[in-house]
A and B are shown apart, each in its own frame.
Chain A
Amino acid sequence: MSNQNRLQVAPTVTQLAVIKLRLQGAVRGHALLKKKADALTLRHRAVLKAIVERKTTLGEIMREAHFSWTRARHAGGESVKHAVLDGVERAKVRVRASEENVAGVKIPKFFLRDTGAEQRRMELAGLGRGGARVREARGAFEKAMTLLSELASLQTAFVTLDEAIRTTNRRVNALENYVTPRLQNTVKYILGELDELEREEFFRLKKVQAKKKRDVEQAEREVAEIVADDEALRIASEELRAYDDVVRGEGGRGAGGNLIETEQDEDLLF
Chain B
Amino acid sequence: MNEDGDLVAVIGDEDTVTGFLLAGVGHVDERQRLNYLVVGERTTDDEIADAFKAFTSTREDVAVVLITQVIADRIRHLVDAHSRAIPSVLEIPDKENPYRPESDSVLSRVRHLLGGDGT
Are A and B in direct contact (Cβ within 8 Å)? yes
A: which residues have CB within 8 A of B?
Answer: 45, 48-49, 51-52, 55-56, 58-59, 62-63, 65-67, 69-70, 73, 81, 84-85, 87-97, 108, 110-111, 113-115, 117, 119, 122, 125, 134, 137-138, 140-142, 144-145, 148-149, 151-153, 155-156, 158-160, 163
Excluding A62-B93, A92-B25, 13 further A-B contacts by CB distance (< 8 Å) are A45-B114, A48-B110, A51-B106, A55-B107, A59-B101, A62-B92, A70-B95, A88-B36, A91-B35, A125-B22, A138-B24, A144-B19, A148-B90
Assess the B16–A59 pair: CB atoms within 8 A. no
C-alpha gap A152/B15 in the complex (Å): 22
Q: Check if B8 is an interface residue, CB within 8 A of chain A.
A: yes
List the 10 closest pairs (A to B, CB-CB), nearest first.
A92-B24, A94-B5, A59-B99, A88-B26, A96-B5, A66-B95, A91-B27, A141-B23, A152-B88, A159-B85
* B residues 1-32 in Cβ contact with A at 8 Å: 1-2, 4-8, 14-28
Q: A88-B26, A88-B27, A110-B63 are in contact. Are A95 and B5 (CB under 8 A)?
A: yes
Assess the A110–B28 pair: CB atoms within 8 A. no
Q: A81-B14, A149-B64 are in contact. Are A94 and B2 (CB under 8 A)?
A: yes
B34 contacts across to A, CB distance below 8 A: 88
C-alpha gap A69/B34 in the complex (Å): 22
Q: A55-B107, A95-B64, A97-B63 are in contact. Are A141 and B22 (CB under 8 A)?
A: yes
* B residues 50-100 in Cβ contact with A at 8 Å: 63-64, 66, 83-86, 88-90, 92-95, 98-99
A218 CB to nearest chain B CB (Å): 83
B18 contacts across to A, CB distance below 8 A: 69, 81, 84-85
Q: Check if B37 is an interface residue, CB within 8 A of chain A.
A: no
Assess the B26–A155 pair: CB atoms within 8 A. no
Q: Check if B119 is an interface residue, CB within 8 A of chain A.
A: yes
C-alpha gap A49/B107 in the complex (Å): 10
Tell me if A's interface is mostly helix, strand, loop or mixed. helix
B118 contacts across to A, CB distance below 8 A: 48-49, 52
Assess the A89–B5 pair: CB atoms within 8 A. no
- Select from chain A the residue with minimum beta-carbon distance to B3: A96
C-alpha gap A45/B113 in the complex (Å): 9
C-alpha gap A89/B32 in the complex (Å): 10
C-alpha gap A45/B89 in the complex (Å): 20
Selected contact of A93 from candidates B14, B24, B89, B95, CB within 8 Å: B24
C-alpha gap A87/B63 in the complex (Å): 23
A153 CB to nearest chain B CB (Å): 8
Assess the A69–B15 pair: CB atoms within 8 A. yes
Q: Check if B49 is an interface residue, CB within 8 A of chain A.
A: no
Of the candidates A56, A65, A94, A159, the one having the most CB atoms from chain B within 10 angstroms of its own CB is A94
A68 CB to nearest chain B CB (Å): 8
Q: A113-B5, A115-B4, A148-B90 are in contact. Are A91 and B114 (CB under 8 A)?
A: no
A66 CB to nearest chain B CB (Å): 4
Assess the A137–B88 pair: CB atoms within 8 A. no
Assess the A158–B110 pair: CB atoms within 8 A. yes
- Select from chain A the residue with minimum beta-carbon distance to B119: A52
- Select from chain A the residue with minimum beta-carbon distance to B93: A62
B98 contacts across to A, CB distance below 8 A: 59
Assess the A84–B22 pair: CB atoms within 8 A. yes
Of the candidates B2, B22, B28, the one having the most CB atoms from chain A within 10 angstroms of its own CB is B22
B111 contacts across to A, CB distance below 8 A: 52
Assess the B21–A110 pair: CB atoms within 8 A. no
A93 contacts across to B, CB distance below 8 A: 8, 23-25
